[in-house]
């Protein structure tokens, strides 16, 4: 095949691929590749067409912007074309842009610094809003740059878009016609809520906020658009026809944005005016640091020559202005191959599938691993080992596999199966009813959970070993001195003294605290074991009902569900935990080490009092009693403490700065006590 024919074929193949991706993204709202891959294809086509201009045709994607409008919407012709921006990815490209600008303005000496208006580049959907005599009359998408889709009714549902221009005085002049251009997007918090609702309904989740916003804006039912909580940010003016006086700034782009802000259009708070290349690059780095804290997604920053007269002088190329450029951030998404799936065990026993990836650069960092969250997510996303997958990384967030490129699935792709036993300790892996996560049941002995198990065991509300905190536990476990909570009771001065920040006096104090913790209550001991779904209240209920640890160890699910407020999920957690022989061995070692309580203490019924059988809720800060002490006093006399106020609540104990529970108590007519009232009731 002749070389020119091969080049022409390559160009045609790229055009067809780009158009297919445009169709998937803009029409079907179901992107098949991440933006970075699309940008690569587009750049390849631009390079080839620049080298072989004889093959450029009006139908090429480089000669238009966006995709064709949907047939379901009417068409609106833009008064001025809605062009896109050329991209810069490196500092050198920004310097070259500045040089072209200076040369175009006749300022070819480097000491002439151009003033630029700079702002974040929103990752949304470009639209134009037309106001006639101050009233919003139409709104359109960018479409192909010349003709867009009429989405006026949908845009009117976006609360951040003014339906009328702001007049500070009743007869204040407004333009006869004003076309405002900006971006429709979805805030990160609204995107998370939308996907949570999609999951709850069993519907497909959206890949990213931009995809969600595009789909919402193109809904034929405006009620659906209104429910999606879209947001609008203005970034400029298309065309304007002045009224009696010229009220729209004519000197600079920054003044235009200030005017739009005064007209109550949302504009980027992070916009600035800078000079020269150094100013541009400093802004790029500053916004890059803020990127993950912004309430919306951005994929770069935009630089525009600030002077409108200079903009007019510089003019346009076929599809983009010469006076502006987008400086893109490193891509947060990339395509790579899923080589395998491993399972990691977290500090709390959760088994998490982790994708092992062919190394790929995402967000400027080489990524080899990514989270798959849980087995349900793998099934929902149809992930198989060997797939081409889209990986996303945002800032310091752990990379995740967001989607599969199903069209590229190899014939030897294989399904992942979650292991039935913990890959670290071999204990049974269990999934409780209504939970997505699979968990290791070897809580007291699993190496992956050692630090968390010991920290919980020694915490204030459990056996409370004063001085045994996270830093000491890290040293004890990392040095192989302590492997289970029972090993704490084997510690001596010789083992503790050499550790960092552990002088002999400190070691003596820790040993004394360990000795003191040996005398506890059955309820605290049960809670200290760290059994899934067994909190303090449940531990107390179990201690009261069984009154003996051995009876609890041998209880069946049916036995356990006879305990007040213990349902099938809690019962199964207890059975799974005690079914592990290693957990029982640690418990036996704790008892052998001298950890004890009065057998039958839990079953002892408190003497009848005014508190017996009553439900209390605590809110605010009491002047003398800590929350823990107040709870202990109430429960010692047969009362119960709840976290929420209802019609079944007998008393709300309120201290300083009470919260919504206080208001709820007043609404329901629940009796309210202060600390003095509580103490008086306890003495009754």
Residue positions annotated with a catalytic role = 121
Q: At what angle do helices 35-51 and 3-22 cross, to 10 degrees?
A: 150
What is the b/e burial string over 604-631, where b = at least 16 CB atoms within 10 angstroms of the residue's CB? eeeeebebeebbbbbbbebeebeeeebb
DSSP letter for each residue of 419-444: -SB-TTT-PBEE--TT---EEES-TT
DSSP letter for each residue of 170-233: TT----SEEEEEEEEE--HHHHHHHHHHHHHTTPPPPSSHHHHHHHHHT-SSHHHHHHT--EEE
Based on DSSP, count helices (H) and strands (E) in the chain, helices before strands.
Answer: 24, 22
- Coil/strand/helix, residue 406: helix
Contact 314, 321 (CB under 8 A): yes
- Coil/strand/helix, residue 101: helix
Q: Taking CA 584 as the corner, what is the angle to CA 581 and CA 587, rounded to the nearest 5 degrees? A: 155
What is the b/e burial string over 465-504, where b = at least 16 CB atoms within 10 angstroms of the residue's CB? bebbeeebbebbbeeebbbbbbbbbebeeebbeebeebee
- For residue 631, what is the DSSP state? H
To 10 degrees, the CA torsion angle through 115, 119, 124, 128? -50
- Coil/strand/helix, residue 298: strand
**What end-to-end distance do the CA atoms of the chain give, in Å?**
102
Residue 353 to residue 536: CA distance in whole angstroms = 31
**What residues are paired with 367 via a beta bridge?**
360
Phi and psi at residue 226, in whole multiples of 5°? -60, -30
Residue 65 to residue 83: CA distance in whole angstroms = 6
72 CB burial (10 A radius; 0-12, 13-18, 19+): exposed
DSSP letter for each residue of 482-535: -SSGGGGGG--HHHHTTSTT--HHHHHHHHHHHHHHTB--HHHHHHHTT-TT--
Residue 678 to residue 672: CA distance in whole angstroms = 9
CA distances from 275 to 90, 112, 116, 288, 567 (A): 18, 10, 6, 19, 67
Q: At what angle do helices 91-104 and 276-290 cross, to 10 degrees?
A: 140
Residues 6+ apart with CB under 8 A from 487: 481
């Amino acid at each position: 095949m002749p070389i020119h024919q091969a080049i022409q074929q390559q160009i045609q193949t790229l055009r067809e691929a780009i158009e297919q991706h445009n169709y998937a993204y803009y029409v079907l709202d179901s992107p098949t590749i991440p933006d970075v891959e699309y940008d690569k294809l587009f750049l390849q086509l631009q390079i080839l067409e620049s080298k072989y201009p004889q093959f450029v045709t009006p139908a090429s994607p480089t000669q238009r912007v966006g995709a064709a409008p949907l047939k379901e919407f009417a068409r609106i012709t833009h008064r001025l074309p809605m062009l896109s921006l050329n991209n810069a990815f490196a500092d050198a490209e920004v310097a070259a842009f500045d040089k072209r600008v200076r040369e175009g303005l006749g300022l070819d000496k480097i000491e002439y610094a151009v003033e630029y208006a700079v702002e974040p580049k929103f990752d949304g959907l470009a639209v134009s809003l037309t106001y006639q005599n101050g009233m919003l009359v139409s709104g359109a998408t960018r479409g192909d740059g010349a003709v867009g889709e009429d989405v006026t009714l949908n845009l009117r549902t976006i609360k951040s878009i003014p339906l009328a221009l702001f007049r500070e005085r009743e007869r204040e002049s407004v333009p006869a016609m004003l076309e405002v251009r900006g971006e429709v997007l979805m805030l990160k918090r609204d995107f998370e809520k939308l996907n949570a609702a999609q999951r709850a309904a069993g519907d497909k989740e959206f890949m990213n906020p931009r995809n969600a916003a595009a789909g919402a804006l193109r809904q034929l039912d405006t009620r659906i658009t209104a429910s999606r909580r879209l947001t609008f940010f203005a970034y400029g003016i298309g065309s304007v026809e002045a009224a009696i006086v010229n009220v729209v700034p004519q000197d600079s782009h920054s003044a235009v944005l200030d005017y739009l802000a005064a007209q109550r259009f949302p504009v980027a708070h992070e916009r600035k005016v800078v000079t020269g290349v150094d100013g541009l690059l400093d802004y790029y780095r500053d916004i890059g640091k803020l990127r993950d804290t912004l309430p919306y997604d951005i994929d770069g920053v935009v630089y525009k020559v600030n002077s409108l007269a200079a903009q007019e002088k510089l003019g346009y190329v076929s599809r983009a202005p010469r006076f502006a450029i987008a400086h893109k951030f490193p891509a947060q998404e990339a395509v790579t191959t899923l080589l395998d799936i491993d399972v990691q065990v977290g500090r709390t026993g959760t088994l998490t599938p982790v994708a092992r990836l062919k190394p790929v650069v995402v967000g400027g960092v080489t990524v080899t691993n990514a989270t798959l969250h849980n087995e349900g997510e793998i099934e929902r996303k149809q992930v198989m080992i060997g797939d081409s997958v889209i990986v996303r990384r945002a800032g310091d967030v752990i990379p995740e596999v967001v989607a599969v490129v199903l069209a590229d699935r190899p014939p030897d792709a294989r399904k992942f199966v979650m292991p039935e036993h913990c890959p670290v300790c071999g204990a049974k892996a269990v999934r409780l009813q209504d939970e997505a996560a699979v968990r290791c049941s070897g809580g007291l002995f699993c190496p992956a959970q050692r630090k968390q198990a010991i920290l919980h065991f020694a915490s204030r509300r459990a056996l409370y070993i004063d001085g045994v905190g996270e830093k000491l536990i890290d040293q004890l476990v990392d040095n192989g001195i302590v492997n289970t909570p029972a090993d704490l009771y084997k510690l001596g001065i010789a083992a503790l003294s050499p550790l960092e920040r552990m002088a002999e006096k400190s070691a003596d104090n820790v040993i004394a605290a360990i000795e003191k913790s040996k005398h506890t209550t059955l309820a605290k001991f049960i809670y200290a074991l760290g059994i899934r779904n067994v909190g303090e209240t449940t531990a107390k209920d179990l201690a009261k009902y069984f009154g003996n640890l051995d009876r609890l160890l041998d209880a069946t699910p049916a036995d356990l569900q006879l305990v007040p407020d213990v349902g099938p999920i809690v019962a199964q957690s207890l059975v799974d935990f005690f079914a592990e022989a290693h957990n029982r061995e640690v418990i036996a070692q704790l008892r052998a080490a001298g950890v004890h309580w009065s057998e039958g203490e839990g079953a002892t019924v408190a003497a009848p009092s005014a508190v017996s059988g009553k439900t209390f809720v605590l809110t605010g800060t009491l002047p003398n009693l800590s929350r823990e002490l107040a709870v202990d006093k109430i429960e010692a006399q047969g009362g119960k403490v709840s976290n929420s106020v209802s019609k079944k609540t007998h008393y709300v104990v309120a201290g300083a700065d009470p919260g919504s529970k206080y208001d709820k108590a007043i609404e329901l007519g629940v009796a309210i006590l202060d600390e003095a009232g509580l103490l008086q009731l306890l003495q009754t």
